[in-house]
Amino acid sequence: MTENNTIKNPIANTEIAPVASTEITHESTLYAEPIGHVGSLTITNSLFTTWVVVFIVFVISIVIKFKSKLIPKGFQNFFEFIIEGAMDLADQVTGDKKITARVFPLAFTIFLFVLISNWLGLLPLGGFGLVEHGEEGLAFIPFIRSGTADINTTLALGLVAVIGSNVFGIVSIGLWKMFNKYVNLKALGEIFTKVKKDPTILISAPIMVFVGILELVGELAKVASLSFRLFGNVFAGEVLLMAMSSIFAYVLPLPFMGLELFVGAIQAFIFAVLTLVYFTIAAQDHDHEEGHEEHKGEHMHA
């Protein structure tokens, strides 16, 4: 930011024109700023925002728990409308009501968690924070930074989604099948059992083993894509709003605030839908499907 002639490159975090000043500065950093410590754990403003999210969700849940009635009114009506709509949408994504019933709570939690995190970062709480002595003078550190504007949060969510999908896969199709998806021992074993009958297996089996390794890399890519997409969008939004504020404070950021509200909702939706997709893929037994395909082929021949 340029509040005291100090310009900082937020990407490289390097100072371009250091100026000694007593003015309070606020820079948009790639990382969440620390606001305290609990033992060895650094409390960042993004972690604090996540606690606020936990509190908000807790209050909403308590209200629903104790105010829900058989004949819905007001907030309950709205929440039920959202849940029913989300369930229908999840059904369309999974194509299976049983999978939806099992995965929906997690996907909906992700949606709500990311949505509230994204929107909290847009709250105009400019004066709510700490003033600390930094290397370049006084620095303002806001308490509220969007939870998802910190790669640690999005990484945690990505890991939860990807690890969760694999656990769901193990529960749905079994440990052996999930293991063979990544380390294709079955394909390796078929080299010895089917080589006389079908010599092409000498080529196809190593390919299958390599595909398994690619699947493993793909899981890591899922974590990276989920976390960096969300982080990138939210952080870019914050930087954009700060840039607009520096051009024409209070007025110019307003349309961009609306845009960021939309982006926040879309990003939450994308994260939740992708989680649903990963869970659905993990619950599908490819061997079973291939068996079906073979049976179909045999029937066609017959």
Partner 1 sequence: MDSFISTFHIDLKIIIAQAINFGIVFAVLYFLALKPLKKIMAERTGIIEKGIADAKENAALVANTQKEYEATISKAREEAHAIFQAGKADAEVRKAEMIRMAQDEVNRMVDQGKKNLEAEKIKMVDEAKKEIVSLVVSATEKLLADQADISTTEKTIKNIKKA
Residues that bind partner 1 (CB under 8 A): 13, 30-32, 40-42, 44, 47, 50-51, 53-54, 57-58, 60-62, 64-65, 68-70, 76, 79-80, 83-84, 105-106, 108-110, 112-113, 147, 150-153, 155-157, 159-160
How long is the chain? Answer: 302
Between 160 and 257, whose beta carbon lies closer to partner 1? 160
Q: What is the DSSP string of 53-119?
A: HHHHHHHHHHHHHHH--SS--HHHHHHHHHHHHHHHHHHHHHS-HHHHHHHHHHHHHHHHHHHHHHH
In the complex, minimum distance from the CB of residue 23 to partner 1, in angstroms, rounded to a whole number: 25
State CA 213 to chain mean position distance: 24
Q: Closest separation between CB of residue 274 and partner 1, Å?
A: 16
Tell me the two tokens of residue 177: 């099948």
C-alpha distances in angstroms, 62 versus 7, 105, 113? 46, 17, 16
Asked whether the beta carbons of 142 and 125 are under 8 A apart, the reply is yes
Angstrom distance (rounded) from CA 185 to CA 297:
26
Q: Which residues of 119-132 are buried (b: 16+ CB within 10 A; e: fewer)?
A: bbbbeeeeeebeee
Q: What is the closest distance, in whole angstroms, from the C-beta atom of residue 41 to partner 1 in the complex?
A: 5
